[in-house]
Amino acid sequence: MTLNEPVYSDEPTRVRQLVSQFFGDQSGSDVAPDGLDVLLSVGADARDDCAVYDIGSPVTLVVGSDYIRGPKFILHELGLLSDFDIGYYLAAANISDIAAMGATPIGLLSVIRYPHEMDDAGFRQVVAGIHQACTDFGTLNVGGDIGNAERLILSGTALGVCRPGKVLKRSGASPGDLLCVTGACGLLGAAVAYFPQRDTFRRALPVEMEQELLDSWKKPRARVAEGRVLAQKPYATACQDTSDGLKATIEQLMHASGVGFRVNERDVPVDPAVREVAELMKVNPLALTMSASSDFQLAFTIAADDVPACRAEFTASGLDFVVIGEATEDGEAVVVDDNGVRPLPGVAWKHQKSDISLLASGTADA
């Protein structure tokens, strides 16, 4: 066997390699900050059937699960994302749900089902991506399930904790609350819209702009710090991440809270790369910004009187948010510009074929 020849170990061998490389010395870790007493007494390094947490003080446990394979991973199929990248994305997607609830992540369980054609190096890269994301977001990959399947299948379950009564929900917004977002949306959706069709556009984007689109997928940021700030007072009356796209998020907050939303077009941040892709697609940049995308910004509502104090907390932590609209009583989500009022533009993610293609083809509202 040459040095570059792929290696295909059996499952027990792969698990042993993981324990030594990624799971060492977990047991006995204090995994919760802010004075919450949560100890991981049995971690993946113990090689038991389950992780064990000893909870010695009143806490609220938050649990979320997300499966991430599907049409949105066309970029992996095209070779533009590595196995490491999709492992990282798995952890980020699950931890983002915890962050949106205002909780601190304390662990991630991951399911990795791989085809026989995946060698040890590719498998290790998936796990390395998961491990790196957990490290970046201040938590641990505490194991899960590993085994064969007909193709690569990835799923995860994130665990988080917060103080009782501090969890953030989608419900709770009231008319008059301001609608905010922690940053520009639509980059990941724009990448999915652009790269598979790149050769059909009249021109290509600049190399640095293409790289920005790909980087949005390679290490997406779960907004853990922002969620904790919003939950501490709590400042946010309602909160959700934008992993289904900004349009879908606003509509979900609207239905959960029983309010409407009036969004000011001029206040919605639009990334320059999204604007350029929208021009190539011949659609409104706001429509692409709000369409199906896997961004992990937080969209939240806050009482107007709390904005100065909340902004000061964000600024002190090196964070930011933008006010883009207001909750209303009429039960409709609309956008306002110089020409008047219209329904929110774009295509919401509905878990079927890649919805962004509908926008690209002109069969959806632009």
Q: Which tens digit of pLDDT belongs to each residue from 255-267? A: 999 999 999 999 9
Q: Does 351 have pLDDT greater than 80?
A: no
Neighbours of 73 (CB within 10 A): 19
Asked if 238 and 299 sit in the same domain, the reply is yes
The pTM (predicted TM-score) of the whole model is: 0.88
Asked if 183 and 89 sit in the same domain, the reply is no
For residue 159, which of 230, 66, 95, 68 has the smallest C-alpha distance? 95
Q: Which residue has the tokens 């290790």?
A: 124
Residue 111 forms beta bridges with which residues? 145, 155
Confidence of residue 361 (pLDDT cuts 50, 70, 90): very low
- The first and second tokens of residue 134, run together, are 């957990």
Q: Does 363 have pLDDT greater than 70?
A: no
Query: Cα torsion at 355, 357, 358, 360 (round to 10°)?
Result: 140
CB 333 within 8 A of CB 348: no
Confidence of residue 19 (pLDDT cuts 50, 70, 90): low
Confidence of residue 188 (pLDDT cuts 50, 70, 90): very high
Asked if 187 and 83 sit in the same domain, the reply is no
Three-class secondary structure of residue 8 per DSSP: coil
Asked if 119 and 26 sit in the same domain, the reply is yes
Strands 38-42 and 29-30, sheet pairing? antiparallel
Three-class secondary structure of residue 126 per DSSP: helix
Q: φ and ψ at 221, to 5 degrees?
A: -105, 115
Strands 260-264 and 322-328, sheet pairing? antiparallel
Asked if 113 and 217 sit in the same domain, the reply is no
- Nearest-angstrom CA–CA distance, 310 and 108: 29
Asked if 155 and 182 sit in the same domain, the reply is no
Q: What does the pLDDT read at residue 326?
A: 98
Mean pLDDT of 234-238: 95
Is residue 300 assigned to a domain? Answer: yes
Q: What does the pLDDT read at residue 6?
A: 85
Asked if 129 and 189 sit in the same domain, the reply is no
Asked if 344 and 216 sit in the same domain, the reply is yes
Q: Does 134 have pLDDT greater than 60?
A: yes
Q: CATH no. for residue 35?
A: 3.30.1330.10
Start-to-end Cα distance in the chain: 56
Confidence of residue 1 (pLDDT cuts 50, 70, 90): low
Q: What does the pLDDT read at residue 11?
A: 66
What is the overall mean pLDDT for the chain? 88
Mean pLDDT of 136-162: 92
Is residue 21 assigned to a domain? Answer: yes
Q: Which residue has the tokens 């900050």?
A: 33
**DSSP state, residue 345:** P
Mean pLDDT of 259-276: 97
CB 134 within 8 A of CB 168: no
Q: CATH no. for residue 281?
A: 3.90.650.10
Q: What does the pLDDT read at residue 364?
A: 52
Confidence of residue 288 (pLDDT cuts 50, 70, 90): very high
- Nearest-angstrom CA–CA distance, 98 and 96: 5
Asked if 270 and 152 sit in the same domain, the reply is no
Three-class secondary structure of residue 68 per DSSP: coil
Strands 141-148 and 260-264, sheet pairing? unpaired
The tally of CA atoms less than 13 A away on the side-chain side of residue 1 is 6
CB 129 within 8 A of CB 87: yes
CB 91 within 8 A of CB 137: yes
Q: What does the pLDDT read at residue 287?
A: 94
Asked if 30 and 93 sit in the same domain, the reply is yes
Neighbours of 204 (CB within 10 A): 12
Q: Which domain holds residue 182?
A: 178-361
Q: Does 325 have pLDDT greater than 90?
A: yes
Q: Does 4 have pLDDT greater than 60?
A: yes
Q: What does the pLDDT read at residue 362?
A: 44
Neighbours of 181 (CB within 10 A): 24
Q: Does 172 have pLDDT greater than 80?
A: yes
Confidence of residue 3 (pLDDT cuts 50, 70, 90): low
Q: Does 24 have pLDDT greater than 70?
A: no
- Nearest-angstrom CA–CA distance, 259 and 178: 12
Q: What does the pLDDT read at residue 93?
A: 95
Highest mean pLDDT among 68-77, 274-283, 356-365: 274-283
Q: Does 186 have pLDDT greater than 60?
A: yes
State the total domains in the chain. Answer: 2
Three-class secondary structure of residue 310 per DSSP: helix
Query: Residue 5 is which amino acid?
Result: E
Three-class secondary structure of residue 23 per DSSP: coil
Confidence of residue 347 (pLDDT cuts 50, 70, 90): confident
